[in-house]
Amino acid sequence: MQAVFTLYGWQVSSYEPIQQGLINSTYSIQTSNGNFILQSINHRIFKSPSAIDDNTNAISKYLQKNNPNYLFTHLVPTLNGNTLVNWEGAYYRAFHKIEGYALSVLENENQVEEAAQQFAGFTSTLKNFNVAQLKDTLPDFHNLDLRYHQFSEAIIKGNAQRITDTQDAISFLASHKKYVDIYNHFIEHAEVKKRVTHHDTKISNVLFQKKEGIEKAICVIDLDTVMAGYFISDVGDICRTCLCAVSEEEKDLNKVVVDPAKWKSLEKGYLHFMQDELSDFERDHFFYAGQFMIYMQALRFLSDHLNNDIYYGAKYEGQNLVRTLNQIRLLEQYNKLN
Ligand code: GN1
Ligand code: MG
């Protein structure tokens, strides 16, 4: 890693890994010229790191011109002016460290409203940015039709023992296929628009700051999956990760409970910036957004469990099944809001 530091011209005093996300590896770097975040991109998943780099730079350029006060994780170039580094087969990029903290679960409604507002603010700030300019960093990432197809394959070709052991979860997901039909109908509708979409609005991707006792969300991070997309992706992942006091890792399903007050705050926070943007048809799918994302995540976790954890990996045997059962429970609880 020392060689990478040299490319940036950093005199590093200390650095440590930070637990951020399931996919990339992230480090906090302290140097004599400031603090940085260095991240290596998981090249097995993101086949085109340069697409991520191009997207981040295109948005960065747009914001510097049109909205320079918007707090954004602009990329830091190397001494040679590159914002993407390929070193011994690994890809790195760096950001200035923004002071703040991320949360893995939210404790109160104010935090939910703040987080939802930040994600909505991101899309609405970029409403005049030409979304067609963005590259697909993960093609078909939130294509529910495809995710269902992958699940259908996993329940045939996957680990036979695991398939036998998860019949209840498999049946549950198969019996809720209507969410796929709604998705297919939704994306074909004339009133549905593609916008700059974050596609990973889980709660740990918002930074918070506390000033004079007041907690505020200050910016969104983790922009690898920013692509053209539908608002249901972003609203959905906020629902998935903000409404419940425990995360997707929780094994005790009795703790997976959805808080109706947090739902109200989410809606208020998101619509604060997006109310005028959404069409009536889109607005009618606000609640569906949560079903869409929780269901898709359950499909993805179970498919991965059946495929021997090739995508997400597992720190312990059955971790992706734990996540699946958690998400199924979350979906059941979420549906009680309606
Ligand atoms: C992954 O790596 P991370 O935590 O940012 C995944 C998301 C899932 C999430 C579940 C590229 O995000 O889609 O919602 O895990 N990202 C990718 O925790 O697959
Ligand atoms: Mg991510």
pLDDT single digits (tens) 98-138: 999 999 888 899 999 999 999 999 999 999 999 999 999 99
Alpha helices in 2-89 (DSSP H): 2-8, 49-66
Helical H segments across the chain, by residue range: 2-8, 49-66, 109-125, 144-157, 160-165, 167-175, 178-188, 231-242, 260-274, 280-283, 286-306, 319-335
Helix-helix angle 260-274:109-125, to 10 degrees: 20
| Nearest atom (ligand 1) to Cα of 248 | 18
Q: How many CB atoms lie within 10 A of CB 11?
A: 10
Indicate the top mutation candidate among 46, 104, 200 to test ligand 1's pocket, ranked by most ligand atoms within 8 A of CB: 200
59, HSE (Cβ side, Cα atoms, 13 Å): 31
CA atoms within 13 A on the CB side of 211: 7
What are the pocket residues of ligand 1 if the criterion is a CB atom closer than 6 Å to any ligand atom? 21-23, 45, 138, 200, 202, 222, 225, 248, 297
The reported pLDDT for the residue numbered 328 is 98
Q: How far is ligand 2, taken at its centre, from the CA of residue 135, in Å?
A: 16
Residue whose CA is at the smallest distance from ligand 1 atom 19: 23
Rounded to the nearest 10 degrees, the angle between the axes of helix 260-274 and helix 231-242 is: 150
Question: Ligand 1: which residue has its CA nearest to atom 1?
Answer: 22
- Domains of the chain (ranges; CATH) run 2-98 (3.30.200.20), 109-335 (3.90.1200.10)
Q: DSSP characters for 279-331?
A: -HHHHTTHHHHHHHHHHHHHHHHHHHHHTTTTTT--SSTTHHHHHHHHHHHHH
Tell me what the mean pLDDT of segment 187-199 comes to.
Answer: 98
Atom 18 in ligand 1: residue holding the nearest Cα: 22
Task: Report in angstroms the alpha-carbon separations of 233 from 48, 227, 292, 321.
Answer: 22, 11, 8, 23
Residue 38 near residue 27 (C-beta atoms within 8 A): yes
In testing the pocket of ligand 1, which one of 19, 20, 22, 73 has its CB within 8 Å of the most ligand atoms? 22
How confident is the model over 207-264, as pLDDT tens digits? 999 989 999 999 999 999 999 999 999 999 999 999 999 999 999 999 999 999 999 9
pLDDT of res. 184 = 98
Ligand closest to 312 (CA) is 1
The ligand whose atoms approach the alpha carbon of 226 most closely is: 2
Which residues have C-beta within 8 Å of that of residue 113, sequence separation ≥ 6? 265, 266, 268, 269
Phi-psi region of 199 (alpha: psi -120 to 50; beta: other; left: phi over 0): left
Q: Tell me the backbone φ, ψ of residue 309, rounded to 5 degrees.
A: 60, 30
**222 CA: nearest ligand 1 atom:** 5
Mean of pLDDT values over 84-111: 93
Neighbours of ion ligand 2 (CB under 5 A): 21, 200, 222
Question: 164 alpha carbon to ligand 2 midpoint, in Å?
Answer: 31
Whole-Å CA distances, 105 to 265, 281, 300? 15, 31, 21
The pLDDT of residue 309 is: 98
- Tell which atom from ligand 1 comes closest to the C-alpha of 225: 11
CA of 197 from ligand 1 middle (Å) equals 15
CA of 142 to the centre of ligand 2 (A): 13
Asked whether the predicted pLDDT for residue 20 surpasses 80, the reply is no
Question: What is the rounded average pLDDT for all residues in the chain?
Answer: 96
> Which residue, by CA, sits nearest to atom 9 of ligand 1?
22
Q: How far apart are CA 236 and CA 293, in angstroms?
A: 5
> What is the number of residues in the chain?
338
To test ligand 1's pocket by mutation, which of 23, 105, 239, 324 has the most ligand atoms within 8 angstroms of CB? Answer: 23
What pLDDT, on the 0 to 100 scale, is given for residue 104?
Answer: 87
